[in-house]
Chain A
Amino acid sequence: MAAFFRGHRNNQMKEANNNEVDLLLRSFARERSQSRPQSGSAGDGERVFSDHLDADELNSYAEGVVPAAARARYTAHLADCDACRGVVIGLTQATGAANRYEVSEPQGGLSFWQKLAALFSPAVLRYAVPALVLTAAIGLGLLALRQQRRTEFLARNEPVITQSPQSETSSTLKPTQPPATNQNATQPEKNTESTNERSKLQDQKIQAGQAPLIGESSAQKAPGKDSGEPVARAGAGAGVEDLRPSYAPEPKKEAPAPAVARDAEKSAELAKVQTANREDQDRARNEYKSQPTDEVHGPSRSSNNAALPASQRSAGLMGARGPSVNKNKNNAEVETRTVSGRRFVREEDAWVDTAYESSRATTKVARGSDQFRALVADEPGIRAIAEQLNGVVIVVWKNRAYRIQ
């Protein structure tokens, strides 16, 4: 680049030098014409006139038919003889020689090396190099922009890949899944889906990778026991950190899980199916793509998400999934609600976190008190729970149990 600018500067200097010489020559010619007597075309005296070119030589020169050796001699004379040069000029213009040579340049052509040298001449490089640099910069910018878009697409598409088997599995589980009964509660689910879809689906990917362990732990855990949850949450959190792309949004750990309740046995089965049928994922993916959108985002998908532990289901979800009625093995109807990733069971007049153990000590927090305001300010997840669940709420939050009343 430095060489280019140096060459460019040299070119400018040469042009300036040429311009100076051009001005000097113009002035020289002007002074000469002013100092010479106006004697017409007869610029030379009698003595010199005898040495002039005759009419035939002048005409042959003007028509360009003089042999090379004679032409050089005539040229030398014409360069110094105004009279003969004037005749040749007149003859050239009269015969239209200028038009004749107008087309002679392309016909004569340049050799390959002359053309190559002209291509890399400073006059061409002066404009070509900046144009190339500009083009390269634009190209790199477009490439970077495209890469950025690609990464965005990657982050969005990841869940689609892992979600398909669940959809397929969910279709097999549909007959055993009771549909959501509360329409009012399902409405906010749709609203929050779009905003938290990425985090939610990413959790589903994690679920697919750790399904056997999670399913096993879920199966071992009895309802109401939260002993294994912190471990599962920690493991899930680590999985999120490991698998999540750096550009993916930070999952919200306090976000609620999908709405549909699940029992532990079905979760375990689902997880096993997922790990055992890796090969079917491609096929399932294709099927997923062909499925209507309503199916994917419908209640069935929520039921699939229920296979996750609460901590994993909650990532990115803040909204409640609304109350639903689950049938347990004994077909007893239990009113449950899921808020901020916590599943609550209605027990008498209180909503009890399924992770709560009755033997566990609780911290009582009165609604509207300073302690309550401080708690909800620090923990927005608890705020959501307290707002959406009326009455007494027992929630396990960060390994501590709170009784909000």
Chain B
Amino acid sequence: MSQREEQIERIFAEGVSRLVARATDNHGLTGETLIPRVRAVVGKYILRDDAQAPLDVIKDFIDKLQADDLCLIVACEQGNQKAWTDLVERFSATVRSAARSASSNEEGAEDLAQSIWAELHGLRLRADGKPAGKLAYYSGRGSLAGWLRAVVAQLAIDQHRKQSRLVQTEEDADFDRIIQHGPEENTWSGHGGAPNPELQISAKLAGEQMQKALADSVKQLSAEDRLLVKLYYFDGLRLRQAGAVLGVHEATASRRLTRVHAKLRQQVERILIEQDGWTRPETERAFTEVALKLEADIEPLLATEGVLMNEENEVTG
């Protein structure tokens, strides 16, 4: 064992001791029981991405684990009935709430809430004879309530996918489908009302080229920017909500989105000029025409969305 590995093991032992001491109810767990769990968590979140991560980072990471929640889950995993009772009593309401959010009806929500406990415990046994439940995947990094919500959401997705398997259609990558097949009616054409078929064809071709250039440009964005575009445009989130997912303030998200717009514009123009042989005036004219056409198409839709949004605010407010 290298010196670094020894140092890391020492940090694990000390960190787990502090963790057990921090817990208000450790359910009789000892450091030896928790060390494998903590080691797996550190490897997953730190050492996988940076094997030479500073020891201080590891130590700090361990000290920020949710001691009570982790001890409760590990105790449940160890078969502690009292811990199970505590878990169900404390988090049944959270699970039901998450199930209602993930299900389209009350009956489905109740079924989902009941099945979650079985999923947590595990119906099958692992090689070591212990149940292969989802409890083994809780790291203690986030809150137990949040983790339970995530488990419920994933379970709902899994159930929905199984139910719709018979009608499952082909899933393509995010942008490939549109690029390859194209929309049935291309609304990107700036000459939609042009009577000349030749003009219509050329306009459609121009729209498709611009659409492809935009898709390629979005792909070339950084992960953070691409996620922001997806959250805001594809998932329909508001900037405040998108910023919350990204961990930034709404104003920061707004500034970042403005910067993304400029970046996409430059990138699309570059692709159209370099790859498709457009001239700069043609790209500018195409942008203007397409935008005018889209503005006319989208305005009624945005107005409808605005009405629905107001109604939603009135209900939730």
In the complex, A72→B261 CA distance in Å? 22
Partner of B241, one of A79, A85, A92: A92
**Chain A nearest Cβ from B164, distance in angstroms:** 6
Partner of A85, one of B150, B230, B298: B230
**Chain B nearest Cβ from A38, distance in angstroms:** 9
The answer to whether B214 has its CB under 8 Å from any CB of chain A is: yes
**Chain A nearest Cβ from B153, distance in angstroms:** 4
Partner of B137, one of A23, A28, A54, A92: A54
Residues of chain A within 8 A of B102, CB atoms compared: 90
Q: Known contacts A40-B164, A65-B64, A98-B240; decide if A23 and B171 are in contact (CB<8 Å).
A: no
Contact of B235 with A86 in the complex, beta carbons under 8 Å: yes
In the complex, A254→B164 CA distance in Å? 114
In the complex, A90→B160 CA distance in Å? 16
Mask of B154-168 contacts with A, CB within 8 angstroms, 1/0: 101110110010001
The answer to whether B278 has its CB under 8 Å from any CB of chain A is: no
Contact of A87 with B141 in the complex, beta carbons under 8 Å: no
In the complex, A55→B154 CA distance in Å? 7
In the complex, A72→B224 CA distance in Å? 8
Contact of A14 with B262 in the complex, beta carbons under 8 Å: yes
Partner of B290, one of A24, A92, A108: A24
Q: Known contacts A29-B234, A56-B137; decide if A91 and B146 are in contact (CB<8 Å).
A: yes
The answer to whether B247 has its CB under 8 Å from any CB of chain A is: yes
In the complex, A28→B175 CA distance in Å? 9
The answer to whether B20 has its CB under 8 Å from any CB of chain A is: no
Mask of A39-61 contacts with B, CB within 8 angstroms, 1/0: 11111111011001011101110
Residues of chain B within 8 A of A58, CB atoms compared: 150, 153-154
Residues of chain B within 8 A of A73, CB atoms compared: 49
Contact of A63 with B142 in the complex, beta carbons under 8 Å: yes
Contact of B151 with A55 in the complex, beta carbons under 8 Å: yes
- The count of residues in chain B whose C-beta lies closer than 8 Å to any C-beta of chain A is 87
Residues of chain B within 8 A of A172, CB atoms compared: none
**Chain B nearest Cβ from A93, distance in angstroms:** 7
Q: Known contacts A20-B290, A23-B291, A94-B98; decide if A40 and B157 are in contact (CB<8 Å).
A: yes
Partner of B183, one of A35, A42, A59, A72: A35
**Chain B nearest Cβ from A65, distance in angstroms:** 5
In the complex, A100→B249 CA distance in Å? 9
In the complex, A36→B227 CA distance in Å? 19
Partner of B146, one of A34, A39, A63: A63
The answer to whether B62 has its CB under 8 Å from any CB of chain A is: no
In the complex, A88→B154 CA distance in Å? 10
Residues of chain B within 8 A of A48, CB atoms compared: 171
In the complex, A73→B288 CA distance in Å? 37
**Chain A nearest Cβ from B30, distance in angstroms:** 23
Residues of chain B within 8 A of A175, CB atoms compared: none
Nearest to A42 among chain B residues (CB) is: B161
Contact of A67 with B49 in the complex, beta carbons under 8 Å: yes
Q: Known contacts A17-B287, A67-B45, A75-B227; decide if A87 and B154 are in contact (CB<8 Å).
A: yes
A-contacting residues, B124-146, CB 8 Å: 134, 137-139, 141-143, 146
Contact of A21 with B161 in the complex, beta carbons under 8 Å: no
Contact of B262 with A60 in the complex, beta carbons under 8 Å: no
The answer to whether B101 has its CB under 8 Å from any CB of chain A is: yes
Contact of A90 with B101 in the complex, beta carbons under 8 Å: yes
The answer to whether B117 has its CB under 8 Å from any CB of chain A is: no
In the complex, A211→B146 CA distance in Å? 103
B-contacting residues, A1-50, CB 8 Å: 14, 17-37, 39-46, 48-49
Contact of A40 with B101 in the complex, beta carbons under 8 Å: no
The answer to whether A385 has its CB under 8 Å from any CB of chain B is: no
- How big is the A interface, by class? 35 or more
What DSSP secondary structure best describes chain A's contact surface? helix
Residues of chain A within 8 A of B226, CB atoms compared: 79-80
The answer to whether A142 has its CB under 8 Å from any CB of chain B is: no
The answer to whether B174 has its CB under 8 Å from any CB of chain A is: yes
Contact of B46 with A56 in the complex, beta carbons under 8 Å: no
Residues of chain A within 8 A of B57, CB atoms compared: 67
Nearest to B240 among chain A residues (CB) is: A98
Nearest to B94 among chain A residues (CB) is: A94
Contact of B249 with A27 in the complex, beta carbons under 8 Å: no
In the complex, A298→B251 CA distance in Å? 77
Contact of B210 with A94 in the complex, beta carbons under 8 Å: no
Nearest to B236 among chain A residues (CB) is: A29
Residues of chain B within 8 A of A39, CB atoms compared: 160-161, 164, 168-169, 171
Nearest to A88 among chain B residues (CB) is: B245
**Chain A nearest Cβ from B302, distance in angstroms:** 8
In the complex, A27→B296 CA distance in Å? 11
Contact of B288 with A62 in the complex, beta carbons under 8 Å: no
The answer to whether A102 has its CB under 8 Å from any CB of chain B is: yes
Residues of chain A within 8 A of B177, CB atoms compared: 32, 35-36
**Chain B nearest Cβ from A98, distance in angstroms:** 4
Nearest to A63 among chain B residues (CB) is: B142
From B156, B177, B247, B294, residue with most partner A Cβ within 10 Å: B247
Partner of B153, one of A33, A65, A90: A90
**Chain B nearest Cβ from A327, distance in angstroms:** 94
The answer to whether A64 has its CB under 8 Å from any CB of chain B is: yes
In the complex, A81→B314 CA distance in Å? 32
Q: Known contacts A67-B49, A88-B245; decide if A32 and B234 are in contact (CB<8 Å).
A: yes
Taking Cβ atoms with an 8 Å cutoff, the residues of B that contact A are 44-46, 48-50, 57, 61, 64, 97-98, 101-102, 134, 137-139, 141-143, 146-147, 149-151, 153-154, 156-158, 160-161, 164, 168-169, 171, 173-175, 177-178, 181, 183, 187-188, 210-211, 214-215, 218, 223-224, 226-227, 229-231, 233-235, 237, 240-241, 243-245, 247-252, 258, 261-262, 264-265, 268, 287-288, 290-291, 294-295, 297-298, 301
Q: 5 shortest A-B CB distances, which residue pairs?
A: A105-B249, A69-B49, A55-B150, A98-B244, A20-B291
* Between-chain CB contacts (< 8 Å), 30 pairs: A17-B262, A18-B261, A18-B265, A21-B262, A25-B218, A27-B297, A28-B215, A31-B183, A35-B183, A39-B161, A42-B158, A42-B160, A58-B154, A59-B146, A65-B64, A66-B141, A67-B46, A85-B227, A89-B235, A89-B241, A90-B149, A90-B153, A94-B98, A94-B101, A94-B149, A95-B143, A97-B247, A98-B244, A101-B244, A101-B247
Taking Cβ atoms with an 8 Å cutoff, the residues of A that contact B are 14, 17-37, 39-46, 48-49, 52, 54-56, 58-60, 62-67, 69-70, 72-73, 75-76, 78-80, 82-83, 85-95, 97-98, 100-102, 104-105, 108
